[in-house]
Amino acid sequence: MTAIEHDVPSDLLDIADLGADGVRKSLDLASLNPRELGAPLAGRGAALIFEKPSNRTRHSSEMAVVQLGGHPVYTRGEEIGFDTREPVEDIARVMSGYHGLLAARVMQHQTLVRLAGAADVPVVNLLSDHSHPLQALADALTMEQHLGGLRGRGVAYVGDYNNVARSLAEVCVLLGADVRLGAPKGYEPDPVDVERIRGLGEGTVTLHKRPEEAVDGAHAVHTDTWVSMGQERDREERRAAFAGWTVDTELMERAAPDAVFLHCLPAYRGLEVSADVIDGPRSVVIEQAHNRMHAARGALAMLLGVEVP
């Protein structure tokens, strides 16, 4: 599905697809009891296709589909064989006949774009090399629960400017937050991407060459692995480049006194985050992981046309 003929986005490939209204609606629907959503997937399936491993995304999206009255069908990418067993477009057209939505975790974001171009039902990104929108919605839900609204709040992301960072920056700008991105040389955002994100909403984006600058006074501090799925060959080079970028207690002391620590997980203690921070009192990572299910349910309900009562 590609055309947007009404105020509900057709697909969720990136947070930017939702706009400020779509993000707000997804988060408001996420906060409702599932019984209030009216089972929009009743009698229908949801294809959940994974070309990469997953714990949170698989379990939270399967349960979100169940809570919306649907039947999740999990399939490993190699069984389906995007463009090896058959073309992506044939897969999209065939599956549109069985399911109320298609969702996929893919090696290449372009696979999602092609699925969305050929499917007759909404297509949802469960993580690509480019973005991780359902994660960002859970991040926003968690920060709102702890900080209230995000307007004018400082949200720091320290580390690799990757799929998680891009979607987080998008959702924060749409919600009016002040995003501080800190990354070492060679792993910082592309200036064109930063300008695009700045144009999405009322929030701001600033870039920082040192983790201390990014975190100074922030209300939320995020990080993610230095080695994303698919980058394993560069593990040692990446670890060397990120030396000194660990979110530890000393760094967290620079944040606001009520600041929370977030991480999408899986986390590597002693690398991007110290054990005392991720297992300490400011950490909200388990709530954040639990919010993956609520955020997914809200976003899927929004795509399926459910209105906030």
The residues annotated with a catalytic role in the active site are 105, 132, 135, 224, 264, 292
Residue 127 or 304 with smaller CB distance to ligand NVA: 127
Residue 33 in contact with residue 59, Cβ under 8 Å? no
Q: How far is the CB of 237 from ligand CP (least distance, A)?
A: 22
CA distance 105 to 128: 6
Instruction: Give the residue among 167, 198, 181, 154 at the shortest CA–CA distance from 295.
Output: 167
Q: Least distance (Å) from ligand CP to the CB of residue 109? A: 15
Among 66, 1, 67, CA closest to 29: 67
Which region, judged by CB under 6 A, interacts with ligand NVA, from 40-48, 157-165, 174-182, 294-302? 157-165
**Least distance CB 164 / ligand NVA (angstroms):** 5
Which of 10, 61, 125, 162: binder of ligand NVA (CB under 6 A)?
162
131 touches, from ligand NVA, ligand CP, none (C-beta below 5 to 8 Å by class): none
Q: Please work out, in degrees rounded to the nearest 5, the angle formed at the alpha carbon of residue 307 by the alpha carbons of 302 and 309.
A: 135
| Closest residue to ligand CP, based on beta-carbon distance | 57
**Which of ligand CP, ligand NVA, none sits in contact with 170, Cβ below 5 to 8 A by type?**
none
Nearer Cβ to ligand CP (118/247): 247
Ranked by CB distance to ligand NVA, the top (closest) residue is 228
Residue (59 or 71) nearer to ligand CP, CB: 59
Q: In the chain, which residue ranges form alpha helices assigned H by DSSP?
A: 19-30, 56-67, 77-80, 88-95, 109-118, 133-147, 163-174, 191-198, 211-215, 235-241, 249-252, 275-278, 285-303
> At its nearest, how many Å lie between ligand CP and the CB of residue 53?
7
What is the sign of the dihedral through the CA atoms of 89, 90, 93 and 97?
negative
Q: Say how far apart CA 216 and CA 92 lie, in whole Å.
A: 46
* 224 lies in the site for ligand NVA, by CB under 6 A: yes
55 binds, among ligand NVA, ligand CP, none (CB under 5 to 8 A by kind): ligand CP
| Per CB under 6 A, 163 contacts ligand NVA | yes
Nearer to ligand NVA, 150 or 164 (CB): 164
Please work out, in degrees rounded to the nearest 5, the angle formed at the alpha carbon of residue 273 by the alpha carbons of 59 and 148: 65
What distance in Å separates the CA atoms of residue 106 and residue 247, rounded to the nearest whole number?
A: 29
Using CB under 6 A as the binding rule, the residues of this chain from 93 to 132 that contact ligand NVA are: 127
